[in-house]
Chains A and B, each alone.
Chain A
């Protein structure tokens, strides 16, 4: 069969192909990405969208946790101060129950207790970044307002609602305990207990019972405080989990779309060799025809 006397288009097509491959390998090395366009790997391109979604959310949960942990820690340390104050109040009550005290001594004890009552109101009105943390969800108003007409000496202006924050896919963490459950729970109202103790001391009547009530209210509050300890623990372990997940998501991202540098470099070098070969073939092709030999 007669040979095609003009292989130039074939040679140029081959050259074009090697240049295309060299470009592709160079782009992969330069960008560090093997998927630069969806057509490079449609499945990976689609999965990378979802991977980026996961990465965004993972980072988002971590950011939320930082904020949540700040709020939880503030609440927890506030409650620690509350416990200390209540211990002091109980000691004062026990002291006041001592029958050897004079009226003026009991009056002094009662006065100190009133100071503690004020301190507790202030602690219960603690705010974090501008909102009151023991007010349920009614966070823009101080939850406890002094009211001399109330039996407990204060009114609760908050509500009983609890906010939850997502800290993982489908993982929600309650981030607050309303004051109504901590300080003024029915039957274990610390303000009422202290107010009653002050009254008992002033009237020198039923001091022992009042101290017992206060102790019970204080214990109840301590039990409620465990909520914050648990929440902080959960936040901490979830942070650790999300940090690990972050690594995995990054690894997955790299597997899906990262450049395989070794392969890309080999491909580039192969393409360059092929290109040299094609160029050399073209330059050598038919430099001479029979015409050159005719005299």
Chain B
């Protein structure tokens, strides 16, 4: 096919292709700030040529496809690092909250222990002095109260984390349902040979959000994608989502179930894993160390008080309510059992003026507890534990942030819209359009020359 009509047809294809390419550019500019959007490029191709005798003529241009530019490997790495970063970040948030209870060296349990033993020291100088005796009871009461408060705060934080776990599980289910629904649309479009670029962007963005909550990996299949946790729990498959659920366990905290399988301890990424790590590892560990400390102090001081005689010459009784056997709950339940200051067994010989048993009570400060450490060492060690856990996690978060930032940069270099680039493309397509239009106008002139058989238009 040749001749003026052929030329006109080629010029029309160029007009159409330039317009479509400009639509792509326009869409890129419009989505320059859309999160998760991958820039599209118009893939122009020469139309199939025709052979005319020994000659081959081109037939113009076609828009072969509109392609979204993204690197699937980068997306996978971004998902993985997002899971890691979210886990560390949610852990860090909880740990920072946790450590505020142990942040002061001059107040709190540590200072209470020091003050209590100091009050005994003062009592030794004047064992019959009721004001000094009362100050021992007050110091013991302060110590018990701070143990109670700290243990309660740990419990409260654990309960708050539980609420977050339930919420996060709900969000996971919402996201997996959305991802499954988008996946069905993508499959439908792709089966019809259509470009599903923007839907894939939506899905990628949803999977990124899901990665913030739970460790998922994406497995491409013939029927869309399959999403599974690293321990093998399927969340989305064949356009269907599978909800996970929470249930209160016998240990008093929410467990996560996939069907009937308890997957609480098999999560390795996402904020859920971070929350569970603090709830099931850090808090119970701190709690049991506090219990051990409270039980050790109460037992040793009770034993010491029983060795002496009170102000009335009677054998000493328990100073604290006896802690539960095994120590569990000792910190929350620590309570001074006497209210009468004369019942402190300061005397070792039964006379009121003897301070001999105060030394026995004071010696508890240097007596090793079950963990081989003195009470103050034990507490200081606990502070080190929470401090170093927080500080290490904080360093890990920083490292993970850098990696994530690096990956996002890489993703941006592949997929983000550059306005300069789009402007250049626009100029290019505009020029092409103008040139094609000029061809149309030229052909138009030629055709009118042919139709009017050379009559000068000016003579009319």
User: Across the interface, do B353 and A53 meet the contact criterion of CB distance under 8 Å?
Assistant: no
User: Across the interface, do B349 and A2 meet the contact criterion of CB distance under 8 Å?
Assistant: no
User: Across the interface, do B409 and A4 meet the contact criterion of CB distance under 8 Å?
Assistant: yes
Q: Is A51 located at the chain interface by the 8 A CB criterion?
A: yes
Cα of A226 to Cα of B13 in the assembled complex, Å: 122
- Cβ of A161 to closest chain B Cβ, rounded Å: 6
Q: Which of A45, A67, A68, A138 contacts B387 (CB 8 A)?
A: A45
- Cβ of A55 to closest chain B Cβ, rounded Å: 8
List B residues 352-373 near A (Cβ within 8 Å). 352-356, 359, 362
Which residues of B sit under 8 angstroms from A166, Cβ to Cβ?
Answer: 121, 124, 359, 362
User: Across the interface, do A5 and B419 meet the contact criterion of CB distance under 8 Å?
Assistant: yes
Which residues of A sit under 8 angstroms from B384, Cβ to Cβ?
Answer: 38, 42-43, 45-46
Q: Is B126 located at the chain interface by the 8 A CB criterion?
A: yes
Please tell me the number of chain B residues within 8 Å of chain A, measured between CB atoms: 64
List A residues 145-166 near B (Cβ within 8 Å). 159, 161, 163-166
- Cβ of A74 to closest chain B Cβ, rounded Å: 13
Q: A4-B416, A63-B122, A166-B362 are in contact. Are A137 and B390 (CB under 8 A)?
A: no
Q: Which residue of B lies closest to A43 (CB)?
A: B384
Q: Is A244 located at the chain interface by the 8 A CB criterion?
A: no
Cα of A10 to Cα of B404 in the assembled complex, Å: 11
User: Across the interface, do B377 and A50 meet the contact criterion of CB distance under 8 Å?
Assistant: yes
User: Across the interface, do B391 and A56 meet the contact criterion of CB distance under 8 Å?
Assistant: no
Q: A53-B110, A163-B353 are in contact. Are A61 and B405 (CB under 8 A)?
A: no
Cα of A148 to Cα of B173 in the assembled complex, Å: 99
User: Across the interface, do A49 and B349 meet the contact criterion of CB distance under 8 Å?
Assistant: no
Which residues of B sit under 8 angstroms from A36, Cβ to Cβ?
Answer: 103
User: Across the interface, do A49 and B110 meet the contact criterion of CB distance under 8 Å?
Assistant: yes
Q: Which residue of A lies closest to B412 (CB)?
A: A4
Q: Which residue of B lies closest to A14 (CB)?
A: B405
Cα of A63 to Cα of B119 in the assembled complex, Å: 11
User: Across the interface, do A5 and B418 meet the contact criterion of CB distance under 8 Å?
Assistant: yes
- Cβ of B268 to closest chain A Cβ, rounded Å: 24
Which residues of A sit under 8 angstroms from B111, Cβ to Cβ?
Answer: 52, 56
- Cβ of B413 to closest chain A Cβ, rounded Å: 4
Residue among A53, A56, A57 having the largest count of chain B Cβ atoms under 10 Å? A53
Cα of A139 to Cα of B391 in the assembled complex, Å: 55
Which residues of A sit under 8 angstroms from B106, Cβ to Cβ?
Answer: 52
> B114-126, CB under 8 A of A: which get 1 and which 0?
1101100110111
Q: Is A140 located at the chain interface by the 8 A CB criterion?
A: yes
Which residues of B sit under 8 angstroms from A163, Cβ to Cβ?
Answer: 124, 127, 353-356
Q: Which of B113, B355, B380, B387 contacts A37 (CB 8 A)?
A: B387
Q: Is B128 located at the chain interface by the 8 A CB criterion?
A: yes
Q: Is B401 located at the chain interface by the 8 A CB criterion?
A: yes
Q: Which residue of B lies closest to A36 (CB)?
A: B103
User: Across the interface, do A53 and B408 meet the contact criterion of CB distance under 8 Å?
Assistant: no
Q: Which of A9, A37, A42 contacts B96 (CB 8 A)?
A: A37
Cα of A136 to Cα of B347 in the assembled complex, Å: 12
Q: Is B334 located at the chain interface by the 8 A CB criterion?
A: no
Q: How many Cβ-Cβ contacts under 8 Å join chain A to chain B?
A: 190
User: Across the interface, do A9 and B408 meet the contact criterion of CB distance under 8 Å?
Assistant: yes
List B residues 108-149 near A (Cβ within 8 Å). 110-111, 113-115, 117-118, 121-122, 124-129
Which residues of A sit under 8 angstroms from B229, Cβ to Cβ?
Answer: none
User: Across the interface, do A5 and B420 meet the contact criterion of CB distance under 8 Å?
Assistant: yes
User: Across the interface, do A38 and B386 meet the contact criterion of CB distance under 8 Å?
Assistant: yes
User: Across the interface, do B421 and A39 meet the contact criterion of CB distance under 8 Å?
Assistant: no
Q: Is B320 located at the chain interface by the 8 A CB criterion?
A: no
Q: Is A3 located at the chain interface by the 8 A CB criterion?
A: yes
User: Across the interface, do A137 and B125 meet the contact criterion of CB distance under 8 Å?
Assistant: no
User: Across the interface, do B351 and A136 meet the contact criterion of CB distance under 8 Å?
Assistant: yes
Cα of A59 to Cα of B387 in the assembled complex, Å: 28
- Cβ of B313 to closest chain A Cβ, rounded Å: 11
User: Across the interface, do A38 and B387 meet the contact criterion of CB distance under 8 Å?
Assistant: yes
Q: Which of A3, A6, A52, A60 contacts B121 (CB 8 A)?
A: A60
Q: Is B394 located at the chain interface by the 8 A CB criterion?
A: yes
Q: Is B191 located at the chain interface by the 8 A CB criterion?
A: no
Which residues of A sit under 8 angstroms from B115, Cβ to Cβ?
Answer: 56
Q: A5-B412, A49-B376 are in contact. Are A129 and B129 (CB under 8 A)?
A: yes
List B residues 308-353 near A (Cβ within 8 Å). 347, 349, 351-353
Told that A38-B103, A53-B113, A289-B419 touch, could you supply 11 new A-B pairs with CB distance under 8 A? Answer: A5-B412, A5-B416, A7-B409, A60-B118, A64-B124, A67-B126, A138-B351, A138-B352, A140-B353, A163-B124, A166-B359
Which B residues fall within an 8 A CB radius of A?
A: 95-96, 99-100, 102-103, 105-106, 110-111, 113-115, 117-118, 121-122, 124-129, 347, 349, 351-356, 359, 362, 376-377, 379-381, 383-384, 386-388, 390-391, 394, 401, 405, 408-410, 412-414, 416-421, 423-424, 426-427
27 CB < 8 A contacts A-B:
A3-B418, A7-B412, A9-B405, A38-B387, A38-B388, A38-B391, A39-B96, A40-B391, A42-B383, A42-B390, A49-B110, A49-B383, A51-B105, A52-B105, A52-B114, A57-B114, A57-B117, A64-B121, A64-B125, A130-B129, A131-B353, A139-B128, A161-B356, A164-B355, A164-B359, A175-B125, A289-B419
